[in-house]
Structure 1
Amino acid sequence: MAGFEELVFSGVQPTGNLHLGNYLGAISRFVTMQENYSCIYCVVDLHAITVPQDPRLLKDQIREVTAAFIAAGIDPKKNIVFNQSQVPQHAELAWVFNCVARMGWLSRMTQFKEKAGKDRENASVGLFAYPTLMAADILVYRATHVPVGDDQKQHLELSRDIAQKFNNDWAEMIAELGHGAEYFPQPEPLIQGPATRIMSLRDGTKKMSKSDPSDYSRINLTDNADTIAQKVRKAKTDPEPLPGALEGLEGRPEADNLVGIFAALRDMPRQSVLDEFGGAQFSTFKGALVDLAVETLAPIAGEMRRLTADPGHIDAILADGAGRAEAIASKTMNDVRDILGFVRRP
C-alpha cells in the first residue's frame, strides 16, 4: 500500500476448545503469512468480554490460544504475539473511533444482529461497538493487511470507512503535522487461496463449533492421536462411494466436508483428492484421512500440552510481545492526540 509499510494484523478470541476449523481457517494461514509479511498476532481478550466470561477460565483460554499459535509454528521472536488487554492503546483508540463512526454504520453490522438475537435491548454496548474496537486493533499499528473470513469482511469494510473518515475530518492537521495526505491506511483483506469452511463431523450442514454438545462433532487441537482417529472414523457419511468429480459432491454435505478437510490438511485442490480417491468407499478414504490428520495435528496437540503446562513461559512470551506492540501503538496514539488537539505529556 503506497506510503505505508506492509504489516499484517490478525486476532483470535480466547473462546476455549480450539478445533480443526480454527486451525485450518486461521492459525495455519498465520504460519504461512509470517514468511512474507511482518505480522502482529493478538489474542483479543477485550473482544471476549463483550459477552459473559468466567474470569477463572479466561486466563487459561488466553494461554491456550497463545500455545496454539506457537505449537502450529508461529515464531514469537520474528512476529509480535500478545494479548490485547496488555496494550491500553487499543481501548483508547477505540474510544476515538467511537466518536468517528456513525450509529447507522454500526446498526448495519449483521454480526451484532446475529449475536444479540431478539433481545437487543439487553446486549452490551461493547457488543454493539465491537467493530470500532476491531478497527482500533488494526489501525493502532497502521496495519495494511488483515486476513479475514466471511464473517469479518463487513467489519473490515467498516475499519476502512473509519480510517477514511478520520483522515478526511482531520486532513488539515494531518498535513500540518507532516503526516502527508492521510494518517491511517485503509487496510486490505488478505486472501490466501480458497477459504476453508470446516463443518461438523456429525452434520455437514452446520459449521464446526465448540458449542456443539457432541465432542464427536469436532476435532479439538488438544485431542491426542487415538481421539483424532476415533472421531474421523465415526464421522457421518453416506453409503455412496466418493465421486470422481466435484459436481458429484453436490447434495452430499458430509462427503464434501471430509474431502475439504483432506484437501486443506494436505494443501491441495479438492479435485485432486477426488482424482486419488474417486470410486473408493469411505472406509478406505477415512483410513487415509486418519493418517493425514494424526500426522498433522497430533504433534501440535502434544506441543500445546507441553506449553500450557508451563503458564509462566507463555506469560513471558505475551509480556514480551505486549512491550513490543505498545512501542508501536504508543507512537500512533501520540500522533492521534496531536491530530485531535489534545494536550499530552511531552
Structure 2
Amino acid sequence: MAAFKPLVFSGVQPTGNLHLGNYLGAITKFVALQDSHECIYCVVDMHAITVPQDPQALTAQIREVTAAFLAAGIDPRKHIVFNQSQVHEHAELAWVFNCVARIGWLNRMTQFKEKAGKDRENASVGLYAYPTLMAADILVYRATHVPVGEDQKQHLELARDIAQKFNNDYAESIASNGFGEGFFPLPEPLIQGPATRVMSLRDGSKKMSKSDPSDYSRINLSDDADAVAQKVRKAKTDPEPLPSEEAGLEKRPEAQNLVGIFAALADRSRADVLREFGGAQFSSFKAALVDLAVTKLGPIGSEMKRLAADPGYIDSVLADGAERASAIARPNMDAVKDILGFVRRRG
C-alpha cells in the first residue's frame, strides 16, 4: 500500500441544540487534534436530509454547528471548516461507492436498523446508503484518520472495506495511472482516551439529548452563564454524600454523571475528583461544578451568540473552507474518474 500524508477528517450533523454531550464527546477532541494534525472539519448537511428537515431550521443549524466549532477554539485559517453540500465531489464519489459497496454489507449496518425502526420500507434510500456517503466524505480527501465514537465504528469499518475493494477491483488501472499499489488509504480510527458519556441532568440512566422535552435535562452550548449555573444546581442527585472511590458510584447514575462531567471539564480523572470531594455533600460539590462549568462553557455560549449575530461571517468561513476543501477533493475525484475509465473534460 502506498504511503499517504496524515490527514484527519470528521463530520458533525447540523441537528441543532448542540449540548454538553456533543462538546465533551466530540468538539473538545477536534480542538485538541488541530495542534498535532492537519484537519478537515465538515458540517454534514447532506447526511442531515436523510430524514425530513425544515429548510429554514437547517440553514440555522448549519451556522450553529459552525459557530460552535469556532467558539470552542477551532481555527478556520489553519484548518478547513466547511459544509458538505458546497463540495460536490462528496456526492460524486458516493455514487461510485454505491457501485462498489455490496448490499450485504449495508444490510449489516445496525444504525440503519435503529433509525428506520419497524417501518423500514418507508425509510429513505439516503438513510440506507448513509454509510457509503460517509465513506466518500472521508476518502474524497484520502484522509488517513477519523475520530469516531462507538456508534460510528461500524461505518468506518465499511469505509475501509470499500477502499480496499476499490483498490483491489481497479488495481491494474490504479497502477497504470501512476498511483502504485492502492489509490485510497484504509482510514484508521483515532481514539483519544476514554469517551466521555454525558447523561441527562434529570435522569442519569439516559443520554443527554436535544430531543428531551425538558431543557433542564441538558446544558446547551448556547446557554449563558446564568443558565448553566441554574441547570447544574437543579441537576438530579441522591441524598448520600459523594464516595471516596469510583466503586462507590455504582448504582448511583446521577452521581456518576456529575462526577464524570466535572472530571471531563477539568481534564482530570474521576478518581482524582473523588479524592478531592469524597465525603462531601452534593451542595458543596455542585457549587464547585457550577464554577467550573461557567468558567469553561460561559465564554463558548457568549461567543456563539456573538457569531450568530453575524451570519455573513459564518458563511464566509464556510465558503473559504469549501474552496480549500474542493482544491483537495477535485483532483482526487478526477483521478478516480481516470481510474474508472470515464472520459472527462481537461483543463
Alignment TM-score, normalising by the size of structure 1 = 0.99
Task: Trace 1:72-87 onto structure 2 (pairs within 5 A).
Answer: 72-87=72-87
- Give % identity: 79
Counterparts of 1:105 and 1:212 in 2: how far apart (Å)?
Answer: 33
Task: Trace 1:246-285 onto structure 2 (pairs within 5 A).
Answer: 246-285=246-285
Number of residue-to-residue matches in the alignment:
346
Counterparts of 1:2 and 1:30 in 2: how far apart (Å)?
Answer: 27
Match of 1:67 in 2: 67
8 Å Cα contact 2:80/2:321 also seen in 1: yes
Residue 163 (str. 1) matches residue 183 (str. 2): no
Match of 1:122 in 2: 122
Deviations 1:115-155 (A, max 9, x none): 00000000000000000000000000000000000110100
Q: What's the CA shift for 1:109?
A: 0.6
Task: Trace 1:1-346 onto structure 2 (pairs within 5 A).
Answer: 3-346=3-346
8 Å Cα contact 2:2/2:182 also seen in 1: no
Q: What's the CA shift for 1:2?
A: 6.2
Counterparts of 2:241 and 2:172 in 1: how far apart (Å)?
Answer: 66
| Secondary structure in 1 matching 2:8 | strand
For 1:72, the aligned partner's letter is: A
**4+ residue runs of structure 1 moved beyond 4 angstroms?**
none
Deviations 1:62-92 (A, max 9, x none): 0000000000000000000000000000000
Counterparts of 1:104 and 1:209 in 2: how far apart (Å)?
Answer: 32
Counterparts of 2:41 and 2:283 in 1: how far apart (Å)?
Answer: 39
| Secondary structure in 2 matching 1:41 | strand
Counterparts of 2:2 and 2:190 in 1: how far apart (Å)?
Answer: 16
For 1:144, the aligned partner's letter is: T
| Secondary structure in 1 matching 2:100 | coil
Deviations 1:33-54 (A, max 9, x none): 0000000000000000000000
Counterparts of 1:284 and 1:111 in 2: how far apart (Å)?
Answer: 41
Counterparts of 2:166 and 2:244 in 1: how far apart (Å)?
Answer: 53
Deviations 1:4-31 (A, max 9, x none): 0000000000000000000000011100
| Secondary structure in 2 matching 1:189 | strand
8 Å Cα contact 2:2/2:181 also seen in 1: no
Counterparts of 1:95 and 1:177 in 2: how far apart (Å)?
Answer: 21
Counterparts of 1:2 and 1:75 in 2: how far apart (Å)?
Answer: 30
Deviations 1:99-119 (A, max 9, x none): 000101111111100000000
Alignment TM-score, normalising by the size of structure 2 = 0.99
Counterparts of 2:163 and 2:259 in 1: how far apart (Å)?
Answer: 40
Q: Mark the runs of 5 or more structure 1 residues left unpaired by the alignment.
A: none
Counterparts of 1:165 and 1:205 in 2: how far apart (Å)?
Answer: 41
| Secondary structure in 2 matching 1:99 | helix
Counterparts of 1:250 and 1:260 in 2: how far apart (Å)?
Answer: 13
Counterparts of 1:123 and 1:334 in 2: how far apart (Å)?
Answer: 32
Over the aligned positions, Cα root-mean-square deviation in angstroms equals 0.8
Counterparts of 1:162 and 1:20 in 2: how far apart (Å)?
Answer: 34
Q: What's the CA shift for 1:197?
A: 0.7
Counterparts of 2:169 and 2:327 in 1: how far apart (Å)?
Answer: 26
For 1:301, the aligned partner's letter is: G
